[in-house]
Amino acid sequence: MKKLFLHVIILSFFFTFPAGAQDVTRNIMQFQIGQRYEYVGDYRNALEIYLALHKRNPRNYTYFDAVTRCLANLKKFDQLLSFIQQQIDQNPQNLQYRVKFGTALLQKGEEKNAEQYWNELLARNRKNSSLYRMIAQAWMMNRKFDKGVEIYNRGRRELGKDSLFALELAQLHTYQLNYDLAAEEYLKFVRQNPNRLSYVSARFASFKGDFQTYEQVTSVLQRWIKREPEVISYRKLFADFLISFANYSDAFSQVEQIERLRQEQKAKEKPGAELFRFGKTMDAEKQYSLAEKSFTLVLEKYASFVNRSQVEYELARSVYLQKKFKQALQQFDLVSRKFPKSNWSLEAQLTRGDIFLHQLFMPDSAAGVFKKILRLFPKNDKRTLALIALGDVEVVRQNLTAAENYYNQALHVTVRNTGLKTELRIKCNLKLAEVAFFKKNFDQAQKYLNAILQNNRRNLSNVFINDALELLLLIDENAAQYHDALGRYADALLLLRQKQLKRAAHEFESILQTDPDAPLTPKSLLKSAQLKEDLGDYLSAVMVYQKILARYPENSLCDLSLWNMGQLYENKIRDVSKAIENYEQILYKYPDSILTDKARKRIRELEGKS
């Protein structure tokens, strides 16, 4: 059918083509038709068109190449060789045709003849770097990577340039998994031009991540650094490579050396910039201790570093992420006092309030911080976050009406940044829906949630929208028939917000006794079990997980319950055999679970230790 369609295209083309149209337009359209034939595997009709084009334009290499492709696909190798030889006779100085002749021999299966032909060609053109490249690429296109390496190295010897073809050889060695040889070539490539550093660093990071690769490449990098210790590019590559293999401490040592060399060489790069970048990288890698160390060094050793306010903030944040909350409070307060009008001061105060509210559970202190933000930053868009946070404080204080008022204020604040405005509106509506839920006004909660989902259907990756969807489903499934159970679930969730973990766990679990058939009951049991874990009551948590498995064996939460039990037995109760047993149950009972791969991995590792 496709071929018939193409025939129709050709006929319509010839009958409708306007008289006097330029030849170049005709050629382009005919070539496109040939390409369509070739695409569907109709090489005979494609060849007919390409030959006609070549006859009219014998010096056009694109048409020539198209003819050779079709002849090769049709396995008409004698005709192909004859066709290429005609071109050689007509264009004796064009080496592309001669390389193509060797390729045709290779495609025909005459590898030795192809090699001999190319060797003779190279012997007559020993100093032509382009010819070495064309022949090496021809070998590569036919999966003869060793031959490609051999040609490139021959070109180097003949031309006396050790770094010639460095990138091509690096890529070839990578295909062959010879990472040490690839590293050598990439370093030569960088030595030619240090601006290639980012590209090469990305290539190093893509190397297969096993210990042998690490040792091979590390050895090469160390040798180059020892030979040329003043070259910063090599150390930068080494640091990035060490990070890609999670050797963060050695990477930090290289970064320190880079900073020292840049000072000695009076480089244009601002002192401390490399350490700051490393700190940000460690933050992304969740190596917060090293991030803290890096930011501290920037502040101590490089007084002239321009963005000190950001460094101070990042230092405080790295302390916070290590859960050193009291120290973090001091660091964030230092940021606010040193840079009182900066955006970093605002971010620092928001985080201080968050620590007081969610980590130390000091709602009065949190409220003081958030009210201070409203005073100090009356026109900043992010002050809306302080209003929302004050609503959260009132939820903790069990003053839901006051919380609702703060959320409504936040909803109606003028925000100039369009993206932030959308985000804040979603968050405010979700908060209002939660307050209505806690008040057991489920209809009102649904209205808020539906407003979120109707206006943001294309943004389902947003975490607040996912939370809204989850809460809406919970209400839809339970409000009509299991209104009381949903109310008790709301009470338990409010207790959880107020950090009354034992009471919340009890309330969640008690729903099983009153409403075992409610769709929300398995979910409430899961929350109870997770809270018991948080409280350190691991055996009670296991018992609740077992209730889920026993009462609701087909529920979608069963695989997660088994995984959580396995984790408890493995990491808290220290019973390896029980851990393996739970992981195996995931494989046997829930083979389609997204947790099967993780469970299989844990089984292998635990069995290897036993």
Average pLDDT over residues 261-265: 88
What digits encode the pLDDT tens for the residues 550-594? Answer: 999 999 999 999 999 999 999 999 999 999 999 999 999 999 999
Which of 518, 551, 584 finishes a domain? 551
Residue 377's CB is within 10 A of a number of other CB atoms, namely 18
Give the pLDDT band (50/70/90) at residue 458.
Answer: low
| pLDDT at position 8 over 70 | no
pLDDT at res. 4: 44
Give the pLDDT band (50/70/90) at residue 460.
Answer: low
pLDDT at res. 208: 76
Average pLDDT over all residues of the chain: 91
pLDDT at res. 207: 87
Number of structural domains, the chain? 2
Residue 170's alpha-carbon distances to 109, 125, 142, 165, 215, in angstroms, are 28, 25, 18, 8, 18
Among all chains, which residue has been given the structure tokens 């006051």?
Answer: 402
For residue 506, is it within any domain? yes
For residue 527, is it within any domain? yes
pLDDT at res. 14: 41
What digits encode the pLDDT tens for the residues 71-111? Answer: 999 999 999 999 999 999 998 888 999 999 999 999 999 99
What digits encode the pLDDT tens for the residues 487-515? Answer: 999 999 999 999 999 999 999 999 999 99
Per DSSP, 196 falls in state G
Q: Are residues 575 and 546 in the same domain?
A: no
Report the share of the chain in percent with pLDDT over 90: 82
Among all chains, which residue has been given the structure tokens 């679930």?
Answer: 489
Q: Are residues 604 and 566 in the same domain?
A: yes
pLDDT at res. 12: 42
Which range has the worst mean pLDDT, 85-89, 262-266, 290-294, 526-530? 262-266
pLDDT at res. 459: 65
For residue 325, is it within any domain? no
Q: Are residues 534 and 571 in the same domain?
A: no
Average pLDDT over residues 202-216: 88
Locate 31 and state its tokens: 């070539």
pLDDT at res. 457: 64
Locate 166 and state its tokens: 């460095």
- Non-local (6+) Cβ contacts of 132 within 8 A are 122, 151, 152, 154, 155, 158, 165
Residue 61's alpha-carbon distances to 69, 97, 140, in angstroms, are 12, 9, 21
CATH code: domain of residue 534: 1.25.40
Separation CA 580–CA 130 (nearest Å): 61
For residue 41, is it within any domain? no
Which range has the worst mean pLDDT, 15-19, 71-75, 245-249, 506-510? 15-19
Average pLDDT over residues 6-32: 59
Q: Are residues 545 and 562 in the same domain?
A: no
Give the pLDDT band (50/70/90) at residue 455.
Answer: confident
Q: Domain limits at 537?
A: 489-551
Which of 551, 572, 594 finishes a domain? 551
For residue 542, is it within any domain? yes
Q: Say what angle helices 273-284 and 232-244 make with each other, to 10 degrees.
A: 10
pLDDT at res. 25: 83
pLDDT at res. 304: 86
pLDDT at res. 268: 76
For residue 287, is it within any domain? no
Separation CA 558–CA 125 (nearest Å): 72
Per DSSP, 48 falls in state H
Q: Are residues 494 and 544 in the same domain?
A: yes
pLDDT at res. 240: 95
Average pLDDT over residues 376-388: 93
Which range has the worst mean pLDDT, 86-90, 520-524, 530-534? 86-90
Single-letter code of the amino acid located at 26: R
What digits encode the pLDDT tens for the residues 150-182? Answer: 999 999 999 999 999 999 999 999 988 999 999
Residue 523's alpha-carbon distances to 102, 498, 518, 528, in angstroms, are 69, 20, 10, 9
For residue 181, is it within any domain? no
Separation CA 242–CA 412 (nearest Å): 50
Residue 267's alpha-carbon distances to 190, 261, 262, 274, 554, in angstroms, are 18, 8, 5, 12, 65
pLDDT at res. 608: 78
Q: Are residues 538 and 561 in the same domain?
A: no
Among all chains, which residue has been given the structure tokens 């206006």?
Answer: 455
Residue 113's alpha-carbon distances to 100, 106, 242, 444, in angstroms, are 13, 8, 46, 83
Contact 318, 291 (CB under 8 A): yes
Locate 252 and state its tokens: 């930090």
Q: Are residues 502 and 540 in the same domain?
A: yes
Q: Are residues 543 and 579 in the same domain?
A: no
Which of 535, 551, 567 finishes a domain? 551
For residue 586, is it within any domain? yes
Average pLDDT over residues 356-377: 96
pLDDT at res. 19: 41
Contact 297, 305 (CB under 8 A): no
| pLDDT at position 456 over 90 | no
Compare 2 and 31 and report the one with higher pLDDT.
31
What digits encode the pLDDT tens for the residues 34-58? Answer: 999 989 999 999 999 999 999 989 8
Residue 127's alpha-carbon distances to 148, 298, 378, in angstroms, are 17, 52, 72
